[in-house]
Amino acid sequence: IDHILGFFRIWEIPFNAVHGLLGHFNPALPFSPEELQGYGFRFDASWQTVPYIREDFLDEIFGAYTGEVKERFLVHKGDGRWDLNVLVDTQRKIVGYFSGASDDMSILIRDGLMRLIDDVLFLEDPDRPGYYHPRISAQHTHVYHSLDEDQKSCFNRLYDDFYYHRHDVFWKDEALRKLPALISSTDMLVCGEDLGMIPHCVPEVMERLQILSLEIQRMPKESWREFGDTWAYPYRSVCTTSTHDMSGIRAWWEEDRARTQRFFNEILGEQGEAPYFCEPWICEKIVELNLFSPSMLAILPLQDWLSIDGRLRRENPQEERINIPAHSRHYWRYRMHLSIEQLLEEGVFNTRLRELIERSGR
């Protein structure tokens, strides 16, 4: 089940928004102003639920174009405060206004205006006026940084409660209302892709319904880990090296050199500097870590199996990507560059795979 978290709740983005940052969970239990005050937070909808635009950071966003932005797109309110004018007061309007623009100035201004609209602490619930959702990742906004330390602490408490505790029973009931019917409709063993921001109730429901979890070493379930411990994976799980929405082993290796270096030394146990490219022997070691894990099933993408053979794998690792979720023109793009008949003829490769699998006991 791809994105099993959707059976607990979905992420709903308003039509006039483009960025997911302005979305909220549905169903959810938004806060009333009284509840927010109960955390010691001084809630004020007049400036915490609308774009927080102040003189002191406009230069940071727009640089040399700040004056032009003020003149064309902002309305001065006094005391260093600004509002967006009606031409660009939603992200969808901004996208429309700059449609077709390709020069550097237009792109910088467009992206800056989009950032301004993201700069809110709370989003009003569309179905329950007067109730509010803390904006996801609000700690990265200018409005959050304008709070004093006490108010930041109060906001962090309500934020953590909202995203990690408040909905546990509510979302558990939602999932238990939907998932059993789906599971009982098939004789197949069910695995849930449970990656991302995982509410506490999710593992409990999956255990109760005997749904296997998905384990990926570079996306550990423990927030304090940088990489998952393949030796500690639960038996009732499927482990894999990559998913359809991620880069493969080789492309991932080249994305962040510092992180790759840590993986090379700390996880693979190798000394010295990590190779720039993910050599076949490195890919094989990563595959082995998954095969030797306690997970009931190890299901790896073809691209990552082929990565252990320098003759068979593609030259360009970027061509191994299946989906880029944020790119609407890059869905299900991957095509095999070898036929089944060719693979059947690869005796050395197939023997090596058989040895790896047999040695791992799978």
> Could you report the per-residue pLDDT of 334-358, keeping only the tens digit for each?
999 999 999 999 999 999 999 999 9
* 5 found inside a domain: no
Q: For residue 123, tell me if it sits in a domain.
A: yes
Cα 287 to chain centroid, rounded: 24
Residues 222, 154 share a domain: no
248 and 354 share a domain? yes
The verdict on residue 174 lying in a domain is: no
Residue-wise pLDDT for 204-231, tens only, equals 999 999 999 999 999 999 888 999 999 9
With respect to residue 234, please indicate whether it lies within any of the assigned structural domains.
yes
> What are the tens digits of pLDDT across the range 115-144?
999 999 999 999 999 999 999 999 999 999
71 and 155 assigned to the same domain = yes
Distance linking the first and last C-alpha atoms of the chain: 23
192 falls within a domain? no
Query: Domain count of the chain?
Result: 2
Same domain, 15 and 160: yes
Residue 199 confidence (pLDDT) above 90 = no
What is the maximal distance between C-alpha atoms in the chain? Answer: 76
Q: ∠281-285-288 over CA atoms, to 5°?
A: 135
The closest alpha carbon to 291, from 233, 208, 207, belongs to: 233
Q: What is the mean pLDDT of residues 269-286?
A: 98
Q: Are residues 34 and 151 in the same domain?
A: yes
pLDDT given for residue 197 in this prediction: 80
Q: Is residue 184 part of a domain?
A: no
Q: Is residue 172 part of a domain?
A: no
- Choosing from 127, 149, 164, the residue where a domain stops is 164
Q: Is the pLDDT of residue 198 over 90?
A: no
- Domain stops at, among 106, 130, 164: 164
292 in a structural domain: yes
pLDDT of residue 80: 83
What confidence tier does 151 reach under pLDDT thresholds 50, 70, 90? very high
Quick one: 151 and 270 in the same domain?
Answer: no
Which has more confidence, 79 or 36? 36
Q: Is the pLDDT of residue 329 over 90?
A: no
Q: CB–CB of 248/333 below 8 Å? A: no
State whether 151 and 296 are in the same domain.
no
Look at residue 79 in the predicted model and tell me its pLDDT: 82
Q: Is the pLDDT of residue 194 over 90?
A: yes
pLDDT exceeds 90 at position 325: no
pLDDT at residue 260 is higher than 90: yes
Give dist(CA 101, CA 95) in Å, integer: 10
Separation CA 362–CA 351 (nearest Å): 15
The helix (H) or strand (E) run that includes residue 339 is none
Q: Are residues 349 and 274 in the same domain?
A: yes
Residue 90 has pLDDT above 90, yes or no: yes
Is 160 found in the same domain as 92? yes
Q: Are residues 226 and 157 in the same domain?
A: no
Residues 48 and 123 in one domain: yes
d(CA 278, CA 86): 51
Mean pLDDT of the chain: 95
Q: Which of 164, 198, 220 lies at the terminal end of a domain, its last residue? A: 164
Residue 33, pLDDT score: 98
Residues 240-251: pLDDT tens digits? 999 999 999 999
- pLDDT above 90 (res 312): yes
Judge whether residue 78 has pLDDT over 90: no
**Planar angle of CA 299, 302, 308, nearest 5 degrees:** 100
Which residue segment(s) compose the domain that 226 sits in? Answer: 212-360
Note whether 216 and 158 are same-domain residues.
no
Residue 200 pLDDT grade (very low, low, confident, very high; cuts 50, 70, 90): confident
